[in-house]
Amino acid sequence: ETSVHVHASPEQVWQVIADVERYPERTPSITRVEPVKTPFGPGAIYRLDVKGTRRADWTVTDVVEGSRFAWRT
C-alpha cells in the first residue's frame, strides 16, 4: 500500500480531478483530451489520446461531486 499526503483542501483536489480537459498538462501519458459532449457529469464524453493506446472515447458514468467520478471506454 502506498499513500501520499496532498497539501490542498478536498475542494482544490476535486477541481483538479474534475478538470479532465487539462489532464495532458498533469499526466504525461495523456497527450490530448478533446471534449465531445459536455458539461462534465454523467453522460459527458471525452476523446483521449493515451501513449501506447489507440484514441478512445471515455464516457463519464457516475459522479459524486467533490469526491469521485467513474468513466468507461
For residues 52 and 27, give the distance between their C-alpha atoms in angstroms, rounded to a whole number: 14
49-60 pLDDT, tens per residue? Answer: 999 999 999 999
Name every residue whose Cβ is closer than 8 Å to that of residue 37 and which is 6 or more positions away in sequence. Answer: 43, 44, 45
Helix (H) or strand (E) holding 69: strand 68-72
20-42 pLDDT, tens per residue? Answer: 999 999 999 999 999 999 999 99
Contact 10, 64 (CB under 8 A): no
**Prediction pTM value:** 0.88
